[in-house]
Amino acid sequence: MEGAAGGSFSDDQFWEVCMELQRFQLVGANWELMVEAQGICVYRRLDELLQLQTSIFKLPRRPAKFTVYIATEVLLARKKQTGLCEYKVYGVLDNCLPDVLADVYMDLDYRKQWDEYIEELYQLEYNGDTVVYWQVKYPFPMYNRDYVYIQQRRDLDLNGWKIHVILAQSTSVPQIAERSGVVRVNQYKQSLAIESDGKKGSKVFMYYFDNPGGLIPSWLINWVAKGSVPVFLNDMANACQRFLFPTCPRGEAAHTLLILHFIGN
């Protein structure tokens, strides 16, 4: 997964994520199942960085009484593993209607109420795009991380079937400068597709990658992601219940995804 990019998302990008949901759990080559619990499957694949390298070769030119060599410059491409992982998540969230789930995901003010790891979260408009600033709490002695990313949602129609697709990718805007004591995450990408499971729940696909930077070892980043990705879905499922029933205690909605116990076991 390559780094930050700016600009709006294309139609093809939205449809690509939509089709991932239709190919439910057909993850492709090099993806390994990491967690499976309560209807949620998390797959991972080592991220690869494409490196370009210039090499000079001497090629003989003939015919000639003496062999003449001409120096030719060749651009070689090779892949190098970064040690980080990208993730695909497939699952069904019971009792979470697709429209509600998509609305809860996009509602930043409401997210401040249910996501305990948020330090700061807001959005602004820049060049016609919705840009989100998101600062995440990290435990001492690590610095908090912050993200600046473009986010867009489209509701697609696939043969009369409604699919909610939300895309996010890191960018940079002059209004949001880096802050002292906070590490800016410059590589972040997330995709989410949601449709009805045919009952009262939602069928979900999510892709996730980020590089939090700093001196955190890649194995620790991957271990945290292993737990944080499904736990995020768990929290969002509970938030959907409270979105519909504001007086419902937090614990009563937890039956939709009780997978935290399984993480790390």
pLDDT category, 67, cuts 50, 70, 90? low
- 3 state SS of 220: helix
Residue 68 inside a domain? The answer is: no
**Model pLDDT, residue 141:** 81
Domain CATH for 241: 3.30.530.20
Q: Does the structure show a pLDDT above 50 at 103? A: yes
Tokens encoding 214: 């700093």
Q: Which tens digit of pLDDT belongs to each residue from 112-162? A: 998 888 999 999 999 889 999 999 998 888 889 999 999 999 999 988 889
**CA-closest candidate to residue 108, choices 204, 239, 244:** 239
Residue type at 133?
Y
The model scores a pTM over 0.95: no
Where in the sequence is the domain holding 219, given as residue range(s)? 11-49+84-262
34-43, 107-116, 168-177, 196-205: which has the minimum mean pLDDT?
34-43
In a domain, 59, yes or no: no
Residue 55 domain-assigned? no
| CA 154 and chain centroid, separation | 17
Say how far apart CA 241 and CA 252 lie, in whole Å.
Answer: 9
Band of residue 261 on the pLDDT scale cut at 50, 70, 90? very low
How does the average pLDDT of the chain come out, rounded?
77
Quickly count helices (H) and strands (E) in the chain: 4, 10
| Number of structural domains found in the chain | 1
Pair 42, 229: CB distance under 8 Å: yes
Q: In this structure, is residue 140 part of a structural domain?
A: yes
Instruction: Give the pair of three-digit tokens for residue 132.
Output: 């989100």
Cβ-contact 170, 189 below 8 angstroms: yes
Q: How many Cβ atoms sit within 10 Å of the Cβ of residue 64? A: 8
Greatest mean pLDDT range, 21-30, 62-71, 172-181: 172-181
Cα dist. 120→69, 112, 117, 132 in Å? Answer: 62, 8, 9, 10
Residue 12 burial by CB count (10 A; 0-12/13-18/19+): exposed, middle or buried? exposed
Q: Let me know if residue 3 belongs to a domain.
A: no
Q: 63 in a domain, yes or no?
A: no
| Whether the predicted pLDDT of 24 surpasses 80 | no
